[in-house]
Amino acid sequence: MLKKGLQDHLNPEREKKLVFLSARVHPGESPASFICQGVIDFLVSQHPVAQILRDHVIFKIVPMLNPDGVYLGNYRCSLMGFDLNRHWQDPSPWAHPTLHAVKQLIVQMNQDPRVSLEFYIDVHAHSTMLNGFMYGNVFEDEERVQRQAVFPRLLCQNAPDFSFSNTSFNQDVVKAGTGRRFLGGLLDDTSYCYTLEVSFYSYMTAGSTAPVPYTEETYTKLGRNVARTFLDYYKLNNLIKDNRPIHIESSEVMSQTSNVNRKGNGFGRDAADREKEKSMGIRH
């Protein structure tokens, strides 16, 4: 565990929150790039939520952890034939240069008293399950378990294609070398590490009877909703002048408009989601 000194916690400059996102560690999982693009496009836009987030949160984004594998058209491995998402524990600067560099950067930022590294989210695509969902870690501290469930629950409220009922928290031995598992054990108890998965194929919304095929636009929309959810998580909604925006359309981002979409729908949380939240003791 990397422990920060008491003086770091008392330093007012440390109030700046830091969120680290990475994507495309598996080169064949192209939906991850569209999600990452949605996050980036939104955060650099003039949307009022994006402006508030830039003022209060630092976002570090590595959109492609495996560029050589992508260039070669590999599905899972790098140029050297490695599954990079199994080498976080001891990456080689020669064999896994991107992973080594990113790990060093994360360690440095975690030791920086001026920031609080609170999230690491690694974006993937899933070949069998529907919707977007997350994997999280397992902790002995029940309070930390409950806090870890907060972000995916909020994302479920904002994104109609995100499923909290598909979200799970595990300690699978074969995943020990992944970014989520390794960094979850390395960072302190104020940090949360997730794998964000999205289906290669389709999603289902509450009350629907047929899956809806994903498109580039719906992938990027999920990315926008991931970014927007940090407004809820950090309780910055009071900085929005009118009613808080629930969903963010691409036209709002691309046109740089300051208009806020005030309409939300009931999708994103179905009966299974609510039942799972109830069993975990999560209150709305």
Asked if 197 is an active-site residue, the reply is: yes
Q: What is the pLDDT of residues 68-89, one digit of tens each?
A: 999 999 999 999 999 999 999 9
- What is the pTM (predicted TM-score) of this model? 0.82
Q: What is the pLDDT of residues 151-163, one digit of tens each?
A: 999 999 999 999 9
* % of the chain surpassing 70 pLDDT: 79
Give residue 15's pLDDT. 66
Q: For residue 105, give both structure tokens.
A: 């950067």
Give residue 10's pLDDT. 42
pLDDT band at 177 (very low <50, low <70, confident <90, very high): confident
Q: For residue 279, give both structure tokens.
A: 């069993």
Annotated catalytic residue, options 118, 197, 252, 277: 197
Chain length of the chain: 284
Q: Which region among 11-20, 40-49, 215-224 has the lowest average model confidence (pLDDT)?
A: 11-20
Q: What is the pLDDT of residues 217-242, one digit of tens each?
A: 999 999 999 999 999 999 988 887 65
Q: Which domains does the chain have, with CATH numbers?
A: 15-279 (3.40.630.10)
